[in-house]
Amino acid sequence: MNPGTRSVFIDADPETVWNSIVKDGRFSTWYAPGSSWQIPKVEVGEKALFTLLPSDHNSLEEGETIPMSFTITEVLPLERFSYASDLDGTVFTFDLFQEQNGTRVTVNVDGFALSLENLKAFAEGKNLPHI
């Protein structure tokens, strides 16, 4: 695993995990709860918009927001979802691997530890540990 890579085992099938990442605005539920992800179409070349709002996990002041735009770069259903920052080109990739009776999710960049714990809880139908 690369130095910035993060991984988590989720006690759920790949379809459940995939849907937790890309379907019906579910990304907003577990990634930076309270902030907003908009992924209108899960297709290469489509835009995804994220608006970071103040929380206990960042230093934003009340009323402050950080809007970000991303372009979806790869979609392999049940296997890989990638998007690139329109600001600096950083590519974020979620890889899903069926493992035993569940799914391992690996993210290629550092900084996703708390979010992956939330994704695990969300996909397993549990309360999010980091709100």
Write out pLDDT tens, residues 42-84: 999 999 998 877 777 777 788 887 888 999 999 999 999 999 9
Partnered with residue 69 across adjacent β-strands are: 49
Residue 12 has pLDDT above 90, yes or no: yes
* pTM score above 0.75: yes
End-to-end Cα spacing for the chain: 28
Assess contact for 72 and 45: CB atoms under 8 A. Answer: yes
Q: Which domains does the chain have, with CATH numbers?
A: 6-123 (3.30.530.20)
20/50 Cα distance (integer angstroms): 16
12-16, 54-58, 73-77, 96-100: least confident range: 54-58
Task: Lay out the sheet containing 91-99: strands in order across.
Answer: 6-10, 102-107, 91-99, 80-85, 66-76, 47-52, 36-38
Q: How confident is the model at residue 6, as a pLDDT? A: 93
101/115 Cα distance (integer angstroms): 22
- Residue 40 tokens read as 């209108």
pLDDT band at 16 (very low <50, low <70, confident <90, very high): very high
* Mean pLDDT, range 21-27, rounded to an integer: 86
pLDDT band at 23 (very low <50, low <70, confident <90, very high): confident
Residue 101 has pLDDT above 90, yes or no: yes
* Mean pLDDT, range 24-42, rounded to an integer: 85
Assess contact for 8 and 104: CB atoms under 8 A. Answer: yes
